Structure 1
Amino acid sequence: MKQRQFHRSVRGGAWLAILMAALCIVAVVAMPAGAQASGGAGAGVEQLATSAEPAAGNVLELFKPVMETGLHGFFELLGSQPIVFLLLALAIGYPLGAASVAGISLGSTAGTLVSGVILSIIAKLAFDISYDIPTIVSSIFLLLFMYALGLRVGPQFFSGLRSGGKAFIVIGVIVWALNWIICVGGAKLVGMEPGYAAGMISGSYTITAVMGVAQGAVQSGAVQLPEGLSAAQVGANIATGYAISYILSSIGIILVIRYLPKLFGRDPVADAKVAEQEFSHGATHPVPGAPDSLVLGFSPYDLRAYRVEHEELIGKTVLDMFKQHPYAPILRVVRDGKILDQADDTEIRKGDIVTLRTKVHELILEEGEKIGPEVDDELARNIPLETADIRVGSHEIAGKTLDELGRTIGFGVQLTAMFRGGQEIPIGPNTDVRFGDVARLTGPDVSIQRIAKALGGRPILDSTVTEVTYMAIAMLAGYLVGILSITVAGIPLALGTSAGCMLAGIFVSYFRSRNPEFGGPVSEGARSFLQDIGLNMFVAVLAANVGPKVIDSFQGTTVAWVALIGTTAALLPVVVAYFVGLKMFGLNSVICDGACAGARNATPGLNAIADQSKSSVAAVPFPVTYALTTVLALIGGYVAMILS
């Protein structure tokens, strides 16, 4: 139930963001230039009245094409205001993706892609309007998606490499080799002109850089063109093969990756849980920095309030009581309807109301007899509880047992879990505490702050804010690594900026699992929203720009061959590789699916299986196969162009 509520809240946040963005656009456009530049308390009723008419005029000017020419004007508006196009594609795409026919649904990403392509095709066919949204917009959103995804899978990534590295490499090579054979062999078989094979490789793999490599081979003279065929015509062939294969494979791969486990008789949700358990090495709590790591959850401890009546308590301090009863500390003292400041030397008087937190059966059976009758006092019982991760930063603490620390500094907190080197460790009274360990504690803020000081650390609490500084630095580093390129035999080889940003997220998350102060805290709601909106905005920009190219490519019977060969090259190798990974290597069905998505460079497909399995564990092998096949696809595109 909590998971469903969480997903509803994320989707609700996306719709709210869309609505607010739309309102902001209208507000900015409607605002007079003078009002945008000026501000302050000096603007009175008269200024508002005089600005109302120009504001209305600006709004009318914006929608004038729509009012004058109806539907034609509406599509012109989408072209002049790209943000309106993107928001409309999202608004249509999300409910379209949620619609189910015979138990099959597109998902939000494919829904957004389809809705955007349809809008751009209608604009081109009906009104000869071509949309051209700057690619920097799509790049920014894609990088945000990849970074957010990396944050989600970081702690599991290296475990996945150790457990299935060889299988991931085999899957990547199978997908690449079959894709190349189908595209090049298919083009030779039906007698296509040079350029189509490389274009289909680029489109079916959704790697635009392959087009650049192929065109570079033509321009450098490495390709001997047949007589009567110009470099411009070859370039058009490459673009045609790319455009048709791209759009068909983009939609098809989302559905294939989404439903591969079910096609092979597997339950993706159940298998994802098994994979998460395997990569966590049997741990029962999320590592520091992971989603839901700071959720309060169920606790056998509870808060109760009692009126002090027993004479043996009167005159003792809060610290005296803690030494006598270390596992039932007094967290609050209420006297004459007022909360006393929390202090060790607070003296207890008769009639005070004291609040205790310990195990429920001890509160019910023991503490009441020792103190006095239980009371329902709002001031005494209203103590907010929090969960915090604290890294042990004091060498004086190292070597002591949990029992020792509990009796000396564990005032009012419950130890939920402990982590060492990013792995959860068993806890018991004799468990020793070491420098660098991370303790997950639950209790009131005053107690958490007290023990954090004693441990020499800083409490990391759940937050609704994304740590933007770490995110910007990490994405910058990942981007720079991604653009580094080496040229081998005229072929530029690079990791790619999107893979670089994903690795940046992985490393931030990995290091934060060892030190929660590194790059955190990051709200899971904010991370999930970045992942969701980032990919779908990227897809919406893509849809706007490729729609006209698809129309331009529909000429002659060659189109049918391009569609058939390109789609087969995009989907069949994935199914074969999935079979090999599942049956021959015994991979978990969801992990195998993630490896296939990376081998096909299918970022939307990865999002589809994450949605289908209710887990992001499929992203563990994704960067490995993604990086491998990106390099192979570039080499393959160059060779295909020469052989054609």
Structure 2
Amino acid sequence: MELLERLLFGSESLWGGGVAHSVMILALVIALGIMLGKVKIAGVSLGVTGILFVGIAFSYFGMNIDEHLMHFLKEFGLILFVYSIGLQVGPGFFSSFRKGGITLNKLAVLVVALGVVTTVALYYVTGLPMTTMVGVMSGAVTNTPGLGAAQQAFSDLHAGADAPDIATGYALAYPLGVIGAILTLLALRYLLRIDVRQEEEAAGLGTDVLKDLTTRRISVEICNPAVEGKSISGIRRLALRDFVVSRICRPGEAPELADAATTLRCGDRILLVAAPKDAERLFGNSLKRLNHPNLIPIFIGIALGVVLGSISFWIPGVPQPVKLGLAGGPLIVAILIGRYGPYYRLITYTTMSANLMLREVGISLFLAGVGLGAGEDFVPTLVAGGYVWIAYGAVITIVPLLLAGLFGRFYYKLNYYTLIGVLSGASTNPPALAYSTEQTTSDAPSVGYATVYPLSMFLRVLAAQLLILIFG
């Protein structure tokens, strides 16, 4: 029993100064947290956020780690997490603002804005500190980078001090943030009197703004001798792909209309319209699977992101200078490198498995550090009335989604499955996306989610920081 106590609570003679003990506690928190996150209740699980709750439990019972080590691992984990997200969404970030994407992103901005307005309203009504309300807001929309950004902003504002109530508010609001979002999407189905069969057919045909996101217009120059002399209809039969060639420009001639009987020759330039999966399979866009991740752009990008995040700038009406911090700086640099790196011969591609590994390690370290730092105050806060924060979180979850859902349906005439995908993405809520995709065989929820997720993530991080800097 004495040995177990020394293992869990630490012993300087046994652990050589406490680093080994800290690493062991950290590893246990992450492993047990991931196990807890896999447990499903009514089909809903905590996911990686289970690490946060295990960390709170360990800390509450006195099993903690070295304070300086915890601070470093938490911040470094946050950097890895947001940077890997930036690399993933970077290539498609700016293309999401095309015609159809603009409409969907407008709706996502509305969701974020309504969430911020609701948070500020509750701040004035309840009299709670803004640190608490930002934590509740981040938990209500399951946005962990927002939690990290808020903590970083508070630390910068108060000379390195921490605000445990940010993490406590996040932890209390998170579970109902997941469940509340799914229940709201379900409620919209009945409030809007959705005809499931009709919406399914419409989603498959792309009858709303989604059609602008599911087709591509590309200019192609014919270079393959095998195409020489073949008609467009013949190529379509051989390729077994759906595409349309609307214009053709032969060398030295003016552009002209093309039809199924038009023959193609090397040197011709054609305007081709097709779904991404058909254009790519016909003309080639396969990714080269690399055996080793490219670490140079990762660590150069992190260094540049930290520099960018440390630069102060003023926003009119904000009493304190604003910094992008360790969440915003690396996120922006990663988006820019992911989008423009290839133009400067910088290999930014990493395999999906490598990106997910980087992201999961980062978020695990961050959540473990947050949980271990918030555990001492969690139960006392809950007993002293913190349970009311759960209700506040539910309001922040449900009201914006409900209002934006009704607006998106009646004003933008969005298909229901596109709509719930956009609302899930605007909430940066993967469980809500999982629920949405289970409701239909179409890709509409996934396309809607992916279109608005990058901008929504950026706005969530920025909003959390601004609320702390203005009110905190």
Deviations 1:349-386 (A, max 9, x none): xxxxxxxxxxxxxxxxxxxxxxxxxxxxxxxxxxxxxx
Contact 1:466 1:526 in 2 (8 A): yes
Displacement of 1:175 in angstroms is: 0.7
Q: Which residue is equivalent to 2:391?
A: 568
The structure with the largest helix share of the pair is 2
Q: Give the secondary structure class of the aligned counterpart of 2:322.
A: strand
Displacement of 1:584 in angstroms is: 0.6
Note if 1:82 corresponds to 2:32: no
Greater relative contact order structure (CA < 8 Å, 6+ sep):
2
Note if 1:404 corresponds to 2:225: no
Q: Which residue is equivalent to 1:498?
A: 327
Q: Which residue is equivalent to 2:424?
A: 593
Residues 1:91 and 1:279: Cα distance change in structure 2 (over 3 Å): farther
* Equivalent AA in structure 2 for residue 253 of structure 1: G
Q: Which residue is equivalent to 2:449?
A: 618
Residues 1:218 and 1:152: Cα distance change in structure 2 (over 3 Å): closer
* Equivalent AA in structure 2 for residue 199 of structure 1: T
Note if 1:122 corresponds to 2:61: yes
Deviations 1:278-306 (A, max 9, x none): 3873359xx9xxxxxxxxxxxxxxxxxxx
Note if 1:461 corresponds to 2:257: no
CA distance in 2, matches of 1:403, 1:74: 70
Contact 2:149 2:325 in 1 (8 A): no
Q: Give the secondary structure class of the aligned counterpart of 1:491.
A: coil
Q: CA RMSD in A?
A: 5.1
* Equivalent AA in structure 1 for residue 455 of structure 2: V
Pick from 32, 35, 43: which aligns with 1:103? 43
* Equivalent AA in structure 2 for residue 596 of structure 1: S
The equivalences for 1:170-569 within 5 A come to 170-187=110-127, 196-206=128-138, 207=147, 239=163, 241-242=165-166, 244-257=168-181, 260-262=184-186, 264-265=188-189, 278=210, 281-283=213-215, 403-404=227-228, 430=264, 461-488=288-315, 489-511=318-340, 519-550=347-378, 553-554=380-381, 559-560=384-385, 562-564=386-388, 566-569=389-392
Displacement of 1:592 in angstroms is: 1.4
* Equivalent AA in structure 2 for residue 247 of structure 1: A
Note if 1:581 corresponds to 2:417: no
Displacement of 1:97 in angstroms is: 1.7
Q: Which residue is equivalent to 1:135?
A: 71
CA distance in 2, matches of 1:98, 1:248: 19
CA distance in 1, matches of 2:88, 2:171: 28
Deviations 1:261-291 (A, max 9, x none): 3454499xx999999x93873359xx9xxxx
Note if 1:145 corresponds to 2:81: yes
Contact 1:198 1:210 in 2 (8 A): no
Q: Which residue is equivalent to 1:70?
A: 4
Residues 1:144 and 1:618: Cα distance change in structure 2 (over 3 Å): farther
Flag structure 1 segments of 5+ consecutive residues without an equivalent: 1-66, 188-195, 220-234, 288-391, 407-413, 419-425, 449-457, 598-605
Q: Give the secondary structure class of the aligned counterpart of 1:574.
A: helix
Deviations 1:480-524 (A, max 9, x none): 333332135532223343234334444444458x97975354222
Displacement of 1:166 in angstroms is: 2.7
The equivalences for 1:16-95 within 5 A come to 68-76=2-10, 80-95=20-35
Displacement of 1:173 in angstroms is: 1.9
Contact 2:327 2:461 in 1 (8 A): no
Q: Give the secondary structure class of the aligned counterpart of 1:145.
A: helix
Displacement of 1:181 in angstroms is: 1.4
Q: Give the secondary structure class of the aligned counterpart of 1:464.
A: coil
Displacement of 1:185 in angstroms is: 1.2
Displacement of 1:610 in angstroms is: 5.4
Q: Give the secondary structure class of the aligned counterpart of 2:355.
A: helix
Displacement of 1:172 in angstroms is: 1.9
Residues 1:104 and 1:633: Cα distance change in structure 2 (over 3 Å): closer
Runs of at least 4 residues of structure 1 off by over 6 A? 211-219, 270-275, 397-402, 414-418, 426-429, 431-435, 514-517
Displacement of 1:590 in angstroms is: 2.0
Contact 1:150 1:503 in 2 (8 A): yes
CA distance in 2, matches of 1:119, 1:99: 19
TM-score with structure 2 length normalisation?
0.65
CA distance in 1, matches of 2:96, 2:399: 24
* Equivalent AA in structure 2 for residue 539 of structure 1: L
* Aligned residues with identical type, % of pairs: 16
CA distance in 1, matches of 2:364, 2:434: 13
Residues 1:616 and 1:540: Cα distance change in structure 2 (over 3 Å): farther
Flag structure 2 segments of 5+ consecutive residues without an equivalent: 139-146, 231-238, 244-258, 438-445
Contact 1:79 1:85 in 2 (8 A): no
Contact 1:198 1:211 in 2 (8 A): no
Deviations 1:552-592 (A, max 9, x none): x549x7x20x441x333333122111112221123621221
CA distance in 2, matches of 1:575, 1:252: 10
